[in-house]
Amino acid sequence: MIRSILTAAALFASASTLAADTLKMAVTTSFHNSGLSEILLPEIQKDIGLEVQLIVVGTGQAIRLGEAGDVDAILVHSRKAEEAFLEGGFGTHRREIMYNDFVLVGPSDDPAKIAGVETAKEALTAIAVNEAPFASRGDDSGTHKMELALWNTAGIDDTKRGTSWYNEAGAGMGATLNTAAGLNAYVLTDRASWLNFGNKQSLTLLFSGDPVLFNQYAFLPVNPEMHPHVKHDLAMNLENWLTSARAAELINSYTINGETLFTFNAEQMLKAAE
Amino acid sequence: MVSIPPLSVQNASVTRNGKRLLGPVDLEIMANGLTIILGPNGAGKSTLLRLMHGLEKPSGGRVRFAAPRAEAYAQQAFVFQTPVMLRRTVLGNLTYPLTLHGTKRANAEKQALIWLNSIGLAGHEHQLASALSGGERQKLALARALIRAPQLLFLDEPCANLDGASTRDIERLILEARNTGTRILMATHDLGQARRLATDVLFLNKGRITESASAESFFNSPKTPEAQAFLKGDLVL
Amino acid sequence: MLEIWQGIQAAFWLIVTFDADLYEIAARSLFVTCSAVAIAALVGLPLGAWLAVSRYRFRRFVIAMLNALMGLPPVVVGLVVYLMLSRSGPFGVMGLLFTPWAMIIAQVIILTPLIASIAHQSIRDLWAEYHDLLISLNTTRSQRIKTLLWDSRRALLTAALAGFGRGIGEVGAIMIVGGNIDHVTRVMTTAIALETSKGDFALAIGLGFVLIGLAIAVNLALHVLSGTEVRDRW
C-alpha cells in the first residue's frame, strides 16, 4: 500500500524529469485553442525526441514568463511586445513561423450590418455608430492589442466606446466568446478559436479577409545569457523543426470543417538549414 | 512507612473578578489521616482543595510542599464532583495516567484490569466510559486517581449526585486507600458521611477556616456557633 | 440544460471506457490534494491544538488572523507562490515552478489555516472539558496536545475532509503555479477550466460530475474506514 503510494508519488513528481528532453514553452490561448498543438506536439516528440510542455496563457503573461526565465521559449503574436522583449535582452531572436487571421463574429441578424462592408475599419465604425453590443478581451493579450489598434485606425478611441455597448470581459478567448454568445454581441477572435469553439449559439462569422487582420506568430527563445538554466539548445532544435518542410506541411494541411487555419511563412535561413 | 511530604497553606487567598472566594487561610496537612472539609455551599471547600492541588493560583500568600513542587504534584490526585471522563474506553481511562508516566501498555492494562475487578466493572473494559452510569463513572474516576498510588488524594464531594449503593462502594474504596497509606482530604456536606470517615475535620465558613479539630472533638463539642448550627442541621448564613 | 444531460453522458462514457486521460488527471488531482492535506494536517492539527491549550498575549489576535486566513483567496496565493518559485524569485533555483510540487506548496498554504482553524475550534471545546483533569494528572503541554488530538480525532477527520474539499475543487492557485501542462500538471479543475474556455461545455460539465463523484467517494471511504474503527471505541 505504502509502496504503491510512493511509486505513484514518484511517477507524478518525476513526470517532468523522466523524459530525457523536455522544454517548457509559453503559448497563447488562441494558438492552443486552435487544436494545432495536438497535431504538432506528438510529431515533434517522434521526430526529434523532444517533449514540449505548453503553458497556455495570454500574450502578456507569456512574455512575463519568458522575462522571468520560467519557460525556455515563447510562441506569441504581438509584434510590439515581442520587439520590446528582444530590446530588453530577454530573448535571443524572433523567428516568424506562420500566420492565421482574425475574424469578426456577431449575432446572425447583424444589427450593425457589417457583413457587406469592405474593410475592418468600416465594420468597426458601423458597430460603434449603431452602438451594437461588443465583447472585448480586455486582458492585454495579443488579440486585445490587435482589437485596440483596429479601433484606433477607425478613429474610435476609448472615450467613444460607451460602456452601454462595449463590454470588457477581462478573460481569455474562450471565455470572451462565451460572454459574446451570452450577450449576443460582436467580438473579434482569431479564426482558429472561432472554428473550435463549441458554444456558438446564435453567433456567426460576419467579416474576414482584410489584410490588416493577419496575425503573425513568432517563436522567441529565452536568452541563456540572461537565464543560464534555460535549455537554449533544445529551443533551437525546436525552432529548426518548426521552420522545416515537415512542419510546413503539417501546419498548412491543418483544417477544421474543411477550412485552413494557418499559413506557414517561415523563411529558411541558411544558417539553420545546415 | 514512607513519610508523606507535609503540605502547608500560608496566609493564602483566592480572589476572582474582585470577589474573594477563599482566605486568608493558614493550614498544615500532617502525614496521616482522613480530613473532612465541612461547610455550607459557597464556603470555599472546592476552592481550598483546588488551591492545594494547584488548580487555582493563590492571589495572595502561598502553598508550600516539603518535596519539590513538580514531584509533589506528581504524588497527588484529584476526584471531581462531576467525574471528567476521557472520550475513551473504560480501560483507556484507567491506563491513561500510567502510560503518561511511561508504563508499558501491557503492564498498564494488567493493573487496570485488577482495579476494574475491585470497582465491580470487570467485563466493561471495552465499553465507552461515557456509556457508564453516574455511579460507575465516579468509581472509575476514583480508581483512575488511585491507580498510581498517590500520597495525597483530594476528593471534591465525590458522592454529591450518587445513590446509596454507589456511595457505599465509593466510601469503601476511600477507606481502603486510607488504610494503604494515602493521605486524604475530602470536601462534603453530607454529615453522615463525615461522621463515618473523618479522622479530623476542617470547618469552613465564608472563605475562612473557622474550626480545625479531631473528628471526635468536632462532632461532640463544636466551638463556633456556625459549626453548632451546621451540626444541628440549621441553615448557616 | 441540454449541456447538463450531455455532461452526464460524457461523464458516464469517460468512466466506463476507462479513458486514460481522465484517470490520469483524476489520479493527479488526488495526489496533489491528498499530499497537500497530509502536510497541512501535519502542521495545522498540532497548531490548532497548541493554540487551544496555550495562553499568551496575542492569542486572540492570532486566532482572529487564522480565521481570516481560512478565506485566503487562492488566486492571490497562486500569484505569491508563483513569484516565490519563479526563476527570478527567491526560490527559483529549485526549479519547482510548473511541477506538481508547486501545486502542492500552494495548496498547503491555502489549506493549513483552514485545517488549523477548524481543529482549534473542536479542540478548544474538548480542552474546556478536559482542562481540570489534565492539569490534575500533571501532564506536560505536549502530552495535553497529544491527548486532545487523539481524543478529538473524529472532529479532526472532519477538518481534514474540509481541507480536502477545498483543495480538490481549487483552481485559481494551481492554474498559476502548475501551468495546466498536459500530462504534467493538468488536474480535474484546470481541465474543466480549459474545456470551458473552449466552449466544450458538455465535456467540462462531464469532468465536473466526475470531480464531484471523486470528492463524494473519498468522503464516503474515509467515513466507512473510520466508522469500522470506532464502532465500539473512541
The SS3 call for residue A220 is: strand
CB contact under 8 A, C86 and A197: no
Q: Name residues 118-137 of chain C within 8 A of B (Cβ).
A: 126, 129-130, 132-133, 135-137
Q: Is B212 exposed, middle or buried (0-12, 13-18, 19+ CB in 10 A)?
A: middle
Confidence of residue A11 (pLDDT cuts 50, 70, 90): low
Matching CATH number, C2-229, of 1.10.10.10, 3.90.1150.10, 1.10.420.10, 1.10.3720.10: 1.10.3720.10
Q: How many domains does chain B have?
A: 1
Q: Is B133 exposed, middle or buried (0-12, 13-18, 19+ CB in 10 A)?
A: exposed
Residue B81 is predicted with a pLDDT of 92
Task: Flag whether the pTM goes above 0.90.
Answer: no
Encode pLDDT of A84-96 as tens digits: 999 999 999 999 9
Let me know: does B43 contact B206? Beta carbons within 8 Å: yes
Nearest residue on chain A to C3, judged by CA atoms?
A199
Out of C129, C132, C233, closest to residue B55 by CB: C132
**Which residues on C lie below 8 Å from B88 (Cβ)?**
151, 233-234
Residue C6 is predicted with a pLDDT of 82
3-state secondary structure chain B: CCCCCCEEEEEEEEEECCEEEEEEEEEEECCCCEEEEECCCCCCHHHHHHHHHCCCCCCEEEEEECCCHHHHHHCEEEECCCCCCCCCEHHHHHHHHHHHCCCCHHHHHHHHHHHHHHCCCCCCCCCEHHHCCHHHHHHHHHHHHHCCCCCEEEEECCCCCCCHHHHHHHHHHHHHHHHCCCEEEEECCCHHHHHHHCCEEEEEECCEEEEEEEHHHHHHCCCCHHHHHHHHCCCCC
Residue A204 is predicted with a pLDDT of 93
Residue A3 is predicted with a pLDDT of 55
Amino acid at site C135: I
Given CATH 2.40.50.140, say whether it is the number of domain A2-99+216-273: no
Confidence of residue C15 (pLDDT cuts 50, 70, 90): confident
Nearest residue on chain A to C26, judged by CA atoms?
A12
Confidence of residue C97 (pLDDT cuts 50, 70, 90): very high
Q: Is residue B128 part of a domain?
A: no
**Which residues on C lie below 8 Å from A61 (Cβ)?**
none
pLDDT, average across residues A232-251: 94
pLDDT, average across residues C186-200: 88
pLDDT, average across residues B61-77: 86
CA pair distance B151, B2, nearest whole angstrom:
9
pLDDT, average across residues C173-180: 93
Confidence of residue B236 (pLDDT cuts 50, 70, 90): low
Please report, for chain C, the start and end positions of each structural domain, with discontinuous segments joined by +.
Answer: 2-229
Encode pLDDT of A102-147 as tens digits: 999 999 999 999 998 999 999 999 999 999 999 999 887 888 989 9
Percentage of residues in chain A with pLDDT exceeding 90?
A: 62
Please check whether residue A149 touches C, CB under 8 A. Answer: no
Q: Is residue B99 part of a domain?
A: no
Residue with the larger pLDDT of the pair B173 and B65: B173
For residue A226, which phi and psi values (nearest 5 degrees)?
Answer: -80, -40
Residue C111 is predicted with a pLDDT of 96
Can you tell me the ipTM of this complex?
0.89
Please check whether residue B78 touches C, CB under 8 A. Answer: yes
Q: Is residue B24 part of a domain?
A: yes
pLDDT at C33 over 90: yes
Residue B12 structural domain: 7-83+150-232
Residue A16 is predicted with a pLDDT of 44
Please check whether residue A252 touches C, CB under 8 A. Answer: no
Domain with CATH 3.40.190.10 in chain A: 2-99+216-273, 100-213
CB contact under 8 A, C138 and B70: yes
pLDDT, average across residues A55-76: 91
The CATH number of residue B43's host domain is 3.40.50.300
Encode pLDDT of A139-164 as tens digits: 878 889 899 999 999 999 888 888 88
pLDDT, average across residues A174-185: 91
Matching CATH number, A100-213, of 3.40.190.10, 1.10.3430.10, 3.40.50.720, 1.20.1050.10: 3.40.190.10
Q: Do chains A and B touch (3 or more CB pairs under 8 A)?
A: no
Which residue, among A153, A174, A176, A267, has the nearest Cα to A216 in the 3D structure? A267
CA pair distance B58, B25, nearest whole angstrom:
11
